[in-house]
């Protein structure tokens, strides 16, 4: 499976799960929405940044030279577009089921405005996580660069021995 497909499916599914949980919670505890919405947003952003960080760290370890790394921007952009459109479509379909309250948004809204928000919500924190992972791993590599090389043994120069004159 392509790396971007895995990210799109995983993060799109997490988005739908969080929207569904938020929908159920808003039905049963409508006065607690003030803290539940930001909590769901924080959970999603932390998951995205963490995954991006792991990507950046793995890429910097595989390619210590910054000029020869993998293009993770396109990987995250494709994952964000597919995750945003897929989560919007799945949320629209789930909204037809009884007891599911996901906002009663139309398909046009879910595939345009809703999906564009999710695309940005996946792409921007993902790229921030990649940059942080690359930067921190690069710093670690530079700091340990000398320590990772075998240390040269430092032996003092032997004192020169002056030849004794023969026959004195």
Q: What is the pLDDT of residues 85-136, one digit of tens each?
A: 999 999 999 988 887 777 788 899 989 998 999 999 999 999 999 999 999 9
pLDDT at residue 73 greater than cutoff 60: yes
Q: Is residue 112 part of a domain?
A: yes
pLDDT, residue 7, reads 94
Residue 84: which residues within 8 A CB-CB, separation 6 or more? 12, 114, 115, 116, 117, 118, 119, 121, 122
Q: Is residue 91 part of a domain?
A: yes
Q: Is residue 100 part of a domain?
A: yes
Give the range of the structural domain holding residue 89, as residue numbers without chain letter. Answer: 3-142
Q: Is residue 99 part of a domain?
A: yes
How many domains is the chain built from? 1
What is the chain's mean pLDDT, rounded? Answer: 84
Give the Å distances, CA to CA, from 9 to 5, 66, 86, 92: 6, 29, 8, 16
Distance CA 60, CA 58 (A): 6
Q: Is residue 40 part of a domain?
A: yes
**Residue with more model confidence, 101 or 4:** 4
Q: Is residue 69 part of a domain?
A: yes
Q: Is residue 151 part of a domain?
A: no
Q: Is residue 9 part of a domain?
A: yes
**Residue with more model confidence, 165 or 72:** 72
Asked if 14 contacts 7 with a C-beta cutoff of 8 angstroms, the reply is no
pLDDT, residue 151, reads 40
């Amino acid at each position: 499976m392509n790396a971007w497909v895995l990210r799109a499916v995983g993060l799109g599914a997490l988005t739908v799960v969080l929207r569904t949980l938020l929908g159920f919670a808003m039905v049963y505890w409508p006065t607690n929405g003030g803290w539940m919405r930001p909590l769901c947003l924080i959970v999603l952003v932390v998951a995205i940044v963490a995954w991006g960080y792991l990507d950046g760290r793995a890429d910097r370890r595989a390619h210590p030279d910054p000029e020869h790394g993998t293009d993770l921007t396109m990987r995250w952009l494709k994952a964000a577009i597919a995750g945003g459109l897929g989560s919007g479509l799945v949320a629209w379909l789930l909204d037809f089921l009884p007891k599911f309250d996901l906002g009663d948004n139309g398909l046009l809204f879910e595939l345009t405005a809703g999906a564009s928000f999710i695309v940005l919500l996946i792409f921007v924190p993902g790229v921030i996580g990649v940059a942080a992972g690359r930067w921190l791993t690069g710093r670690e590599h530079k700091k340990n660069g000398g320590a990772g090389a075998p240390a040269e043994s430092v032996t003092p120069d032997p004192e020169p021995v002056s030849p004794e004159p023969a026959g004195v």
